[in-house]
């Protein structure tokens, strides 16, 4: 199935056909991860656990940014 890269505001993107969204149980607002693989791109849903863990890591790094910066020296 071919899609076209389109201008969307200041970005560019593709429209995922409804039949593909339905097949994979995706809807507007779901997050996808883009992986470069074998000279191409692979899209996969973001695992909620990983997404939650990354949010906690970001908060931790923000809270302890001064200490982490000192440790990195």
Model pLDDT for residues 11-70, shown as the tens digit of each residue:
999 999 999 999 988 899 888 989 998 999 999 888 777 667 778 888 999 999 999 999
- Whether 20 is covered by a domain: the verdict is yes
pTM: 0.55
Number of separate domains in the chain: 1
- Whether 36 is covered by a domain: the verdict is yes
- Whether 56 is covered by a domain: the verdict is yes
- Whether 1 is covered by a domain: the verdict is no
- Residue-wise over 21-46: b if at least 16 C-beta within 10 A, else e? eeeeeeeeeeeeeeeeeeeeeeeeee
Q: In this structure, what CATH number is given to the domain that contains residue 32?
A: 2.10.260.10
| pLDDT recorded at residue 7 | 96
Domain that holds residue 60: 6-72
- Whether 64 is covered by a domain: the verdict is yes
| pLDDT recorded at residue 62 | 92
């Amino acid at each position: 199935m071919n899609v076209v890269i389109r201008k969307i505001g200041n970005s560019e993107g593709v429209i995922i056909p409804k039949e593909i969204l339905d097949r994979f149980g995706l809807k507007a607002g779901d997050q996808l991860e883009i992986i470069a693989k074998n000279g191409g791109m692979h899209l996969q849903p973001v695992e909620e656990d990983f997404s939650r863990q990354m949010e906690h890591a970001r908060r931790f790094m923000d809270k302890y940014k001064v200490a982490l910066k000192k440790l990195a020296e």
